[in-house]
Chain A
Amino acid sequence: MTHLPFILGSYGLALVLGVGFAVDAWLRVGRARRRLAAIDPRRQRERDRGQERD
């Protein structure tokens, strides 16, 4: 295959960019979900109701 370093460089950049953004978004959603669950009064009430039923 001719020009292999240029081709691999292009494909590598695309994969790094895609994976990087995907992992960043996934971590950000997880972090926001945990923080929201900790401070959201509606979720707190739902949890309390669940514990009362148990």
Chain B
Amino acid sequence: MDSSLNNPRTIAPGGRGLHRFANPGRFLRLSGRVLPFLAIAAVVLTLGGLAWGLFVAPADYQQGDAARIIYVHVPAAWLASGGYLGLAVCAVISLVWRHPLADLAAVEIGPVGAAFTALCLATGSLWGKPMWGAWWVWDARLTSVLVLFFLYLGHIALVRAFDDPERGHRAGAILALVGVVNLPVIKFSVDWWNTMHQPSTITVTGAPAMHVDMLWPLLTCILGFSLGFAAIVVARLRAAVMERRIRGLLMAQAQGAEGRVA
């Protein structure tokens, strides 16, 4: 087992409460209890929300039924940014408190976040073709999301690029923090520049710019997709913790065998 998982000397002040959860046994027990509920809620809400959006919600008065793509596109876009924010939070926890579970979480969030960003771009293209007449335009919103996709790919490559995993995790954490600057650019791109992309439909301060019959299925899909994202990351993290323990045990066995031969 990686000794840093249980070594209190590597913890910065303030991280002790957090570090309790670095115990792999505790994490596996806790996540094992939570994961089934998370997965079931994700499946029910996602399938329910998608069916609601596809069959029950009204079509848009301008865009017709093509607007139903919003029930996939917006949750994917939300998770593309949200996933990267999660990556950045893991980077802070890793760099400040040297929390090894945060390193593993960052490694597991990367591919899932990249896939959801790709889904956002693909569904945007599928929506853009009938509405704008083009699969792709070099619009500020689309381009900044494409940059986010490349940041995810860069992170995935960087954490695996070093023989020493610790160095990979450090480099990945720095890239994740640098890339955070892209998140406000994505969010405000539709306000800062004249873009073909429509402005934000849901804002924190104002009333939503869509009818309530379309808003509820959208919120259901956003919640379902978010729980699904969390369930996938937790399951991957469980596997990663067990794989790390397997590597530790095999290494200890190999060292023991070497010691006996010597």
Q: Which residues of A contact B (CB under 8 A)?
A: 1-4, 6-7, 9-11, 13-14, 17-18, 21-22, 25-26, 28-29, 31-33, 35-36, 39-41
Cα-based distance from A39 to B247 in the complex (angstroms): 10
Q: Which of B39, B228, B232, B245 has the most CB of A within 10 A?
A: B232
> Which residue of chain B has the shortest Cβ distance to A38 in the bound complex?
B246
Cα-based distance from A21 to B59 in the complex (angstroms): 31
Least CB distance from A29 to B in Å reads 5
- Residue from the list B65, B72, B232, B238 in contact with A14, Cβ < 8 A: B72
Instruction: Give the A-B contact count at a CB cut-off of 8 A.
Output: 87
Contact of B228 with A18 in the complex, beta carbons under 8 Å: yes
Contact of B72 with A39 in the complex, beta carbons under 8 Å: no
Q: Which of A7, A9, A31, A40 has the most CB of B within 10 A?
A: A7
User: At the interface, yes or no: B130 with Cβ under 8 Å from chain A?
Assistant: yes
Contact of A6 with B69 in the complex, beta carbons under 8 Å: yes
Cα-based distance from A35 to B73 in the complex (angstroms): 39
Least CB distance from B141 to A in Å reads 17
- Residue from the list A3, A4, A26, A39 in contact with B235, Cβ < 8 A: A26
Contact of A11 with B249 in the complex, beta carbons under 8 Å: no
